[in-house]
């Protein structure tokens, strides 16, 4: 995973270097891409590097850190205020600060703060990733209908109406929109081969799902998929990498 691009803004050279040393030593997911000693330098650095995270000193000559937000047209980064004065705390959070660190910086608190950024970034990237692959279904070719062999003959269904398929020995349960279930006398492997290029993914040895009916993915050892019919399906740890690669590739 790419490191979190970070800008440090502080008028004191030594303070900037101390924070950078702490980040290098204790926060390996951080990459400092620029430093600035005043608001004007900070604006240039932020526009040039588009950081994900900014450590911003509040008490600086001429203009304090809060002035930065009045001079930028858009804020697309997490902000952690850093100051020697705790009287700024309320004002900092009114400016939507992610966190607030007092000088001298406590290393444990710094690590906690960076971990919060990592979690928020992971959640944001996952949301964007999921949005991307949901949109991509509009471009997927679809089989118009497939035949499902049942005891009395065949049932023809639109593939778009198949929410998920579940293995049961040599049979497959096919769950359709509207809550209907069809018991089919073929194995799940048959339908995996038939549907894998049409927006379906095998996420578990028992489950083949239609990705456009995924409502949520919950991280875990393998993860958990929640379908539109509210069925919770475990993603096997062996299938997790393939599933996430599919999501990313479709974004």
Mean pLDDT in residue range 111-138: 69
Question: Has residue 135 been placed in a domain?
Answer: no
> For residue range 3-28, what is the model confidence (pLDDT) as tens digits?
999 999 999 999 999 999 999 999 99
Residue 89 backbone dihedrals phi, psi, to 5 degrees: -55, -50
Domain C-terminal end among 98, 124, 150: 124
What CATH number is attached to the domain comprising 62?
A: 3.40.50.2300
> What domain count does the chain have?
2
pTM for this entry: 0.52
Q: What is the CATH number of the domain that holds 229?
A: 2.40.50.1020
Q: What percent of the chain is modeled with pLDDT above 70? A: 84
pLDDT at residue 249 in the model: 44
Q: Residue 239 is part of which domain span? A: 140-250
């Amino acid at each position: 995973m790419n490191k979190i691009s970070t800008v440090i803004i502080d008028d004191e050279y030594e303070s900037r270097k101390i924070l950078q040393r702490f980040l290098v030593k204790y926060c390996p997911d951080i990459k400092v891409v620029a430093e600035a000693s005043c608001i004007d330098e900070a604006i240039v650095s932020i526009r040039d590097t588009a950081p994900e995270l900014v450590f911003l000193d509040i008490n600086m000559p001429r203009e304090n850190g809060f002035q930065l937000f009045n001079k930028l047209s858009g804020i697309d980064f997490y902000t952690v205020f850093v100051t020697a004065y705790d009287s700024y705390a309320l004002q900092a959070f009114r400016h939507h600060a992610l966190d607030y660190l007092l000088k001298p910086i406590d290393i444990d608190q710094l690590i906690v703060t960076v971990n919060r950024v990592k979690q928020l970034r992971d959640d944001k990237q996952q949301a964007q990733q999921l949005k991307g692959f949901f949109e991509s279904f509009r471009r997927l070719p679809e089989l118009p209908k497939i035949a499902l062999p049942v005891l009395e003959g065949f049932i023809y269904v639109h593939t778009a109406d198949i929410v998920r398929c579940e293995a049961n020995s040599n049979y497959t349960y096919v769950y359709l929109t509207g809550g209907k279930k069809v018991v089919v006398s073929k194995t799940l492997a048959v339908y995996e081969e038939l549907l894998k290029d049409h927006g379906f993914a095998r996420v578990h040895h028992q489950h083949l799902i239609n990705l456009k009916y995924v409502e949520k993915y919950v991280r875990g050892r393998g993860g958990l998929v929640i379908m539109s019919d509210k069925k919770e399906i475990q993603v096997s740890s062996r299938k997790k990498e393939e599933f996430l690669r599919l999501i990313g590739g479709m974004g």
